[in-house]
C-alpha cells in the first residue's frame, strides 16, 4: 500500500530540516509519494520563499530591480543543497528559473517556483523521481481541478515511477500554463495525490504534534487531539482553528482515506488522526466529550422584535432578503416568540449597518431593533456530545459559576457543536474555563 506524505514549509525551511524529512520518509517504505511546499520561515522574523516570490513578481511587473530578493531566495536553496550534499547543479537550476521568470512572468508561474525547486532538491535527497505538477494536476479554465484526468494521469505515471516527489501548490491549465491554489495549497495537492492512488493514508507533516484542543495563545499547553472526524474538523476550522487548507478534506473524505497531522520535529508523537468516524472507540480520549474548543471575536447581534411576529409569516424572509441585498453572511438566527436575532460578523457590517437598519425599519416595520456588538462566538465541538445527556447542562453551569453572562446559545442539529455567545471581554476566560473543566 502507498502512503502519501506532504511536508509543509516549516518542515523544509533549511538543509537540516530536509535531513529530518529524509529520515521520516525512509523510516517507512510505504511512503512512496512525497509532496513538498516551498521553504518556510526558519525563525519568526524570517521570510517564506513564496512571499519573496510574490514580491519578485511585483518588482518584475513594475520593472524594478529585484536582485536582492532573488539572492535571498537563491541562498536558501544553495544552503539546502550544500547541507544535504546534493550533486545537482543548483546554480544552473536557479539561473534557469530566474531567466524563465523574466520570460514567463505570470504571477502563478513565478510563485510556483518555490515548490518546483524544493521538489527537485528533495527528489535527489531521497533518490526519488521528480514529477512536475504540470504533468498530472490539471485545472479547467475556471481554476477547478479536473479530478478524473488528474487522478488517472498520476496513477499512470506511478506505474513506471513508483517513488516520486511532487511539488505542491500548483498544476496546469488546459493551455499548459501554471495555475496555483490559494495560499497553503500544497495540502490540497497531497490530498489529491492520495485520492489518485487510493492511498492507505495521507500524512500531513508540519511543526506541531497534531491539531490542538484549543488555541495555545489562549490556553497554556493545550493537548493535541488524537482523533477527530471530518465534520468536527469542519466546525473547528470554520470557527477559527487554523489547520489545513479548506479544500484538503474533500478528496480524502470522498475516498475514506485516513488523514494524519504529524510533527516533523517529533515524529514519534502520535499526532492527530482525521477520519469519517471512529465506530469502536473506547480509549481514554473516547471518554471525553469535547474534542476541541475554538471561537471568534467581534460579532454583532441585531435583535428585531414585533408583537405577534408569528402571525406575520413573511417577516423573517423579508429581513433575510435585506441581509442578502448587502451580501451578509448570517451566522446564526436565535429566536423567541416575538423576536429573533441576526448574528453577523461585525467587520462585514462596517459599511452597511446603518443602511441595513433603515431598510429593515422601512420595509419590515418591526416594533424595535436593538444592536449589540462586541460579541464572541465560542464553539464547543465533540462528536460524543450527541450521545451524552447533560452535556450542555454541565457546560452552562460551569460558565455560569464563573459569572460569565451568556448572550446566545445554539446547538447544531447533529449535536456535534454548541455555540455560545459571550461578550468579547469574556472570550479568553470562557475558553480557558471550558478547557480546564472538560478536557
d(CA 7, CA 80): 15
* 186 near ligand ASP, rule: CB under 6 A: yes
DSSP letter assigned to residue 244? S
Q: Which three cell numbers stand for residue 253?
A: 473524505
Residue ranges in 348-407 that form contacts with ligand ASP under rule CB under 6 A = none
Please, is 175 exposed, middle or buried when counting C-beta atoms within 10 Å of its C-beta (0-12, 13-18, 19+)? exposed
* 166 near ligand ASP, rule: CB under 6 A: no
For the CB of residue 39, give the shortest distance to ligand ASP in the complex, in Å. 9
Give the Cα-Cα-Cα angle 197, 198, 202 (nearest 5 degrees): 95
* 421 near ligand ASP, rule: CB under 6 A: no
Q: Which of 3, 4, 5, 9 binds ligand ASP (CB under 6 A)?
A: 9
Listed ranges 90-98, 180-188, 198-206, 404-412: which one lies at the site for ligand ASP (CB under 6 A): 180-188
Q: Contact 111/1 with Cβ under 8 angstroms?
A: no
For the CB of residue 400, give the shortest distance to ligand ASP in the complex, in Å. 43
> Kind and range of the H or E element at 188?
helix 186-196
Q: Which residues pair with 378 in a beta bridge?
A: 295, 420
**Measured CA distances, 362 to 54, 318, 348 (Å):** 47, 11, 22
For the CB of residue 48, give the shortest distance to ligand ASP in the complex, in Å. 5
For the CB of residue 345, give the shortest distance to ligand ASP in the complex, in Å. 24
Q: Which of 37, 55, 150, 323 binds ligand ASP (CB under 6 A)?
A: 37
Q: Which of 61, 91, 135, 183 binds ligand ASP (CB under 6 A)?
A: 183
For the CB of residue 183, give the shortest distance to ligand ASP in the complex, in Å. 4
d(CA 63, CA 23): 43
Of the pair 191, 319, the CB lying nearest ligand ASP is at 191
Listed ranges 121-129, 181-189, 297-305, 338-346: which one lies at the site for ligand ASP (CB under 6 A): 181-189
Residue ranges in 88-147 that form contacts with ligand ASP under rule CB under 6 A = 114
d(CA 3, CA 252): 12
Q: Which three cell numbers stand for residue 277?
A: 468516524
Q: Which of 4, 12, 21, 38 binds ligand ASP (CB under 6 A)?
A: 38
- Number of residues this chain uses to bind ligand ASP (CB under 6 A): 13
**Measured CA distances, 260 to 38, 98, 115, 181, 406 (Å):** 20, 36, 22, 21, 35
The pair phi, psi for residue 47, each rounded to 5°, is: -110, 150
Residues contributing to the site for ligand ASP (CB under 6 A): 9, 37-38, 48, 50, 114, 168-169, 183-187
Amino acid at each position: 500500500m502507498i502512503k502519501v506524505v506532504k511536508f509543509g514549509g516549516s518542515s523544509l525551511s533549511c538543509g537540516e530540516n530536509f535531513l529530518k524529512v529524509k529520515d521520516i520518509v525512509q523510516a517507512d517504505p510505504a511512503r512512496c509519494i512525497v509532496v513538498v511546499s516551498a521553504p518556510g520561515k526558519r525563525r519568526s522574523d524570517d521570510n517564506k520563499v513564496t512571499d519573496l516570490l510574490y514580491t519578485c513578481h511585483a518588482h518584475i511587473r513594475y520593472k524594478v530591480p529585484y536582485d536582492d530578493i532573488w539572492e535571498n531566495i537563491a541562498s536558501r536553496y544553495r544552503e539546502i543543497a550544500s547541507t544535504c550534499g546534493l550533486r545537482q547543479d543548483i546554480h544552473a537550476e536557479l539561473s534557469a528559473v530566474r531567466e524563465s521568470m523574466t520570460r514567463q512572468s505570470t504571477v502563478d508561474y513565478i510563485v510556483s517556483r518555490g515548490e518546483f525547486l524544493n521538489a527537485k532538491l528533495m527528489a535527489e535527497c531521497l533518490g526519488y523521481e521528480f514529477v512536475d505538477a504540470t504533468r498530472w494536476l490539471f485545472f479547467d479554465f475556471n481554476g477547478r481541478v479536473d479530478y478524473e484526468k488528474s487522478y488517472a494521469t498520476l496513477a499512470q505515471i506511478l506505474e513506471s515511477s513508483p517513488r516520486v516527489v511532487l511539488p505542491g501548490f500548483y498544476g496546469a491549465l488546459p493551455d499548459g500554463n501554471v495555475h496555483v491554489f490559494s495560499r497553503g495549497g500544497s495540502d490540497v495537492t497531497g490530498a489529491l495525490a492520495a485520492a489518485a492512488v487510493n492511498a492507505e493514508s495521507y500524512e500531513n507533516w508540519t511543526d506541531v504534534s497534531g491539531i490542538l484542543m484549543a488555541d495555545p495563545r489562549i490556553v497554556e499547553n493545550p493537548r493535541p487531539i488524537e482523533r477527530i472526524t471530518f465534520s468536527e474538523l469542519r466546525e473547528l476550522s470554520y470557527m477559527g482553528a487554523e489547520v489545513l487548507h479548506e479544500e484538503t478534506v474533500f478528496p480524502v473524505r470522498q475516498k475514506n482515506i485516513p488523514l494524519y497531522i504529524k510533527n516533523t520535529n517529533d515524529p514519534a508523537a502520535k499526532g492527530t488522526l482525521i477520519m469519517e468516524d471512529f465506530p469502536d472507540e473506547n480509549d481514554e480520549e473516547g471518554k471525553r466529550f469535547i474534542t476541541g474548543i475554538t471561537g471568534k471575536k467581534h460579532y454583532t447581534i441585531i435583535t428585531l422584535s414585533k408583537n405577534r411576529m408569528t402571525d406575520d409569516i413573511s417577516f423573517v424572509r423579508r429581513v433575510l432578503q435585506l441581509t442578502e441585498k448587502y451580501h451578509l453572511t448570517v451566522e446564526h438566527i436565535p429566536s423567541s416568540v416575538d423576536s429573533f436575532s441576526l448574528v453577523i460578523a461585525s467587520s462585514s457590517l462596517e459599511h452597511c449597518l446603518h443602511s441595513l437598519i433603515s431598510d429593515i425599519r422601512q420595509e419590515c416595520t418591526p416594533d424595535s431593533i436593538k444592536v449589540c456588538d462586541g460579541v464572541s462566538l465560542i464553539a464547543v465541538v465533540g462528536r460524543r456530545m450527541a450521545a451524552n445527556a447533560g452535556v450542555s447542562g454541565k457546560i452552562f453551569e460551569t460558565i455560569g459559576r464563573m459569572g460569565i453572562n451568556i448572550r446566545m446559545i445554539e446547538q447544531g442539529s447533529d449535536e456535534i457543536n454548541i455555540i455560545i455567545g459571550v461578550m468579547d471581554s469574556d472570550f479568553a476566560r470562557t475558553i480557558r474555563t471550558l478547557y480546564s473543566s472538560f478536557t
